[in-house]
Structure 1
């Protein structure tokens, strides 16, 4: 019988760590997609000591860097045949107007563009599973997103609306996935 596989971004703290610990009994294999490998290694060690039968893999993935996302997806594609549950949890809030290495506003890159690309790249593996679960962690901050153009690169930076925009993007992605694949 094939292993049940969970892939999760942002598992080293907060909601991500809580999610891993709550769901760990439902999976045989966990793929920890981490920006900070040191924190990821500590989590992997902790989980390995506690759950000796669990197959745990640490994968470097900085969602703000699209080349890192592609490399993480390629590594996963080379090593697993399916993913039962993909949880896009990682995210940031920034009060400063910072750019990603690809030139996008950092919150939009990390909270939406990176997860969008990761989901797109891993979707064939999710579709190979009987479960076919993709979970997008968002927040009520989407209500702060103005519905005007340009959506991805606004003329002026505002931390509240920027964060809201990135979270609205995750909801749009979740809605699109639901409409296309939930049948």
Structure 2
């Protein structure tokens, strides 16, 4: 073990599990947060079974519930002296609108507000681990957002399978904007943050995309769809690679041809980044 402490959310399957596995293989001490206890215990058994010396722990929390986030942050504080890497991977794609326990759109709560609050509650541990890193699993879908209102982005609404794509894209844009604001606000504390798109990955998330399972079953036979292990490779680079030391505020894409796409203009609006940050603080109750 190299005394590097890492927290990974959403690690019971897909990219999250492969990221946890890769961090353990690199000798890191890993704590993962999951929503389902039974799946978490199965993941814990798998990871420990693969490496008898693995230092890995499991904590249970639903990131869409702010009280759960506060509780699990307190539990993490009891177990970690510091935090070197935080991987915000947990996410969902709800096919139909739902309201979170706190009255927000549940997809926005899970993908943005929960991770936003967790990151803030762990910032003291990240400062102790400086130079520390935050890795945000985002998506190229953030490019599709034409308009976002900093005052209403978390308001519950009504949508079905097609409309859900726009809300998911909004949640990923929020991830990217938050990453860039962290890079500005917390640089002096020795905390860096970067976001990335893992590309089209054959994971549990595709079950919630309209016709996702059928389409991905066909597409996975082609190079267009990556395995969860391949999807985790850039997360592990951002977490471990010395060449990323001190690099912050970036968005990295593993999607083929992404460099040919037009720039996502919202990414280059510091005023919007600040407004989203301040509104998120209000919504999660830390202002």
Asked if these proteins are the same fold (TM beyond 0.5), I'd say: yes
Change (3 A) 1:58 1:154: closer
Deviates more, 1:122-131 or 1:108-117: 122-131
Q: Give the drift of 1:32.
A: 1.1
Structure 2 alignment gaps of length 5 or more: 189-287
Query: Which whole-Å deviations, capped at 9, do the CAs of 1:3-56 have from their partners, x for residues lacking one?
Result: 211100001111111211222223442101000111111111111122222221
Q: TM-score, normalised by structure 1?
A: 0.92
Distance in structure 2 (CA, Å) of the matches to 1:154 and 1:35: 22
Contact kept? 1:63, 1:110, Cα under 8 Å: yes
Distance in structure 1 (CA, Å) of the matches to 2:121 and 2:70: 7
What's 1:54 paired with? 54
Q: Give the drift of 1:155.
A: 5.6
What's 1:170 paired with? 175
1:8 aligns with 2:8: yes
Q: Give the drift of 1:2.
A: 7.7
Contact kept? 2:24, 2:55, Cα under 8 Å: no
Bigger Rg over Cα: 2
Structure 1 alignment gaps of length 5 or more: none
What's 1:25 paired with? 25
Contact kept? 2:82, 2:128, Cα under 8 Å: yes
Contact kept? 1:146, 1:165, Cα under 8 Å: no
What's 2:187 paired with? 182
What's 2:34 paired with? 34
Deviates more, 1:114-123 or 1:149-158: 149-158
Query: Which whole-Å deviations, capped at 9, do the CAs of 1:145-169 have from their partners, x for residues lacking one?
Result: 2324222226654312211111111
Q: Secondary structure at the match of 1:86?
A: strand
- CA-based RMSD of the aligned residues comes to 1.8
What's 1:87 paired with? 87
Contact kept? 2:112, 2:175, Cα under 8 Å: yes
Contact kept? 1:16, 1:90, Cα under 8 Å: yes
Could you list the structure 1 runs, at least 4 aligned residues long, displaced by more than 6 angstroms after superposition: none
Question: What number of residue pairs does the alignment pair up?
Answer: 183
